[in-house]
Chains A and B, each alone.
Chain A
Amino acid sequence: AQSVSQHNHHVILSEAASLELGCNYSYGGTVNLFWYVQYPGQHLQLLLKYFSGDPLVKGIKGFEAEFIKSKFSFNLRKPSVQWSDTAEYFCAVNAPIYNNNDMRFGAGTRLTVKP
């Protein structure tokens, strides 16, 4: 069955540490990939997206993600986290073979950044 896996359930980092959150998907064929963030008490916001082209995608707030097709991965990275990055992060996959807007989400990774 098609799925989206986020292996880290909860990540705790100190400020200025580097971040990498894993995301793997099991869809074959063309996929569109997204990372969303949910800050405490706020709604989900789009961080970045990948459709095609350069596999290194830059998003808002210094985040970036790399699409590695051979590994079915789309990991999120940030060189130096801040306390304000404390949030839950969701990876999402859209497989156009189904329809344009059916998006499946991973279980989420909670990031806690200690000041």
Chain B
Amino acid sequence: KAGVTQTPRYLIKTRGQQVTLSCSPISGHRSVSWYQQTPGQGLQFLFEYFSETQRNKGNFPGRFSGRQFSNSRSEMNVSTLELGDSALYLCASSLATRRPQGYTFGSGTRLTVV
């Protein structure tokens, strides 16, 4: 079965712009989580969506937002980009059963803010 698909793979934006990243989970996976990965901070949890609802949110400013569609595809948006937003953004999907089965990660979108 197809894995988690993230688009685009690479993105270069300038400060102040906004960006939208997309994630298509594995078919049947209803939970989608987003992480920011940087060399200094490691993997930082952004938020998780389940059935089109944000279930949990990490400690990121309101410039970071997301949504999930009825087909479980998810998007995350970053407005008013800052240089420090440069990172690899990872999407992970899971079955969201009562017992977590662990994530399946996508390859990520590498965002560079200049």
Q: Is A90 an interface residue (CB 8 A)?
A: yes
**Which range holds the interface residue count of chain B?**
20 to 34
Stretch at the interface among B13-21, B68-76, B78-86, B95-103: B95-103
Q: Is A16 an interface residue (CB 8 A)?
A: no
Which secondary structure dominates chain A's binding surface?
A: loop
Q: Is A107 an interface residue (CB 8 A)?
A: yes
Which secondary structure dominates chain B's binding surface?
A: strand
**Which range holds the interface residue count of chain A?**
20 to 34
User: A98–B56 Cα gap in the complex (Å)?
Assistant: 8
- Could you say which residues of chain A place their CB within 8 Å of the CB of B94? 101
Name which residue of chain A comes closest to B40, CB basis.
A107
Name which residue of chain B comes closest to A44, CB basis.
B105
Q: Tell me if B96 and A100 are in contact (CB < 8 A).
A: yes
- Could you say which residues of chain B place their CB within 8 Å of the CB of A49? 101-102
Give chain A nearest CB distance to B106 CB in angstroms. Answer: 6
Q: Is B108 an interface residue (CB 8 A)?
A: yes
Chain B: residues with CB nearer than 8 A to chain A? 31, 33, 35, 42-43, 45, 48, 50, 55-56, 90, 92, 94, 96-108
